[in-house]
């Protein structure tokens, strides 16, 4: 495993085990910075891990790939839109196994406050005939 300089760009080479337990090698080239290459390596290895110690954003990518073949196109579009709009911004960088009930409640309360504020603005606009 590692990040290597290749001319002006960087490349990543990682070894991982697939779902059948076979060892595989993955390479990706063309990163402009070493940081981009390391970030890709970390994300790839998290997506290949079998546990729930991955970031929520990486978990969503795995989930989307899995559900793309199971759901109709429009259903998947709607699901992706709602998740990306309402859930991803709040939980994207959190580790999946570290999301607690308190985190979910705080997220729910934030959504409710946003909805409550929108209703107040709409009421004000109706009363002022805007």
Q: What is the pLDDT of residues 111-125, one digit of tens each?
A: 888 776 666 655 545
Model confidence at 50, pLDDT cuts 50, 70, 90, reads: low
Residue that wins the pLDDT comparison between 28 and 49: 28
pLDDT reading at 54 higher than 70: yes
Rounded to 10°, the helix 34-48/56-68 angle is: 60
Q: Average of pLDDT values for 41-65?
A: 83
Q: Give 82-117 pLDDT, tens digit per residue.
A: 999 989 999 999 988 899 999 999 989 888 887 766
Measure the N-to-C terminal CA separation of the chain; round to a whole number of Å: 61
Instruction: Please indicate whether residue 45 or residue 103 has the higher confidence score (pLDDT).
Output: 103
- Secondary structure element (H or E) that encloses residue 115, with its range: helix 101-127
Q: Which residue intervals of 11-100 are DSSP H helices?
A: 34-48, 56-68, 73-82, 88-91
Distances (CA, A) of 60 to 16, 82, 106, 128: 20, 12, 20, 43
Q: Assess contact for 31 and 11: CB atoms under 8 A.
A: yes
Q: Tell which residue, 43, 45, 32, has the closest CA to residue 5.
A: 32
- Give 12-39 pLDDT, tens digit per residue: 999 888 767 788 899 999 999 999 999 8
């Amino acid at each position: 495993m590692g990040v290597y300089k290749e001319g002006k760009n960087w490349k990543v080479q990682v070894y991982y085990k697939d779902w059948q337990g076979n060892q595989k090698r993955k390479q990706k080239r063309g990163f402009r910075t070493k940081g981009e290459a390391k970030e890709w390596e970390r994300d790839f290895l998290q997506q290949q891990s079998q546990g729930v110690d991955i970031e929520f954003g990486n978990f969503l990518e795995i989930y989307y790939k899995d559900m793309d073949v199971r759901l109709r196109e429009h259903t998947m579009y709607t699901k992706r839109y709602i998740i990306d709009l309402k859930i991803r911004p709040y939980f994207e960088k959190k580790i999946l196994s570290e999301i607690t009930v308190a985190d979910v409640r705080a997220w729910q309360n934030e959504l409710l406050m946003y909805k409550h504020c929108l209703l107040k603005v709409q009421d004000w606009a109706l009363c002022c005939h805007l």
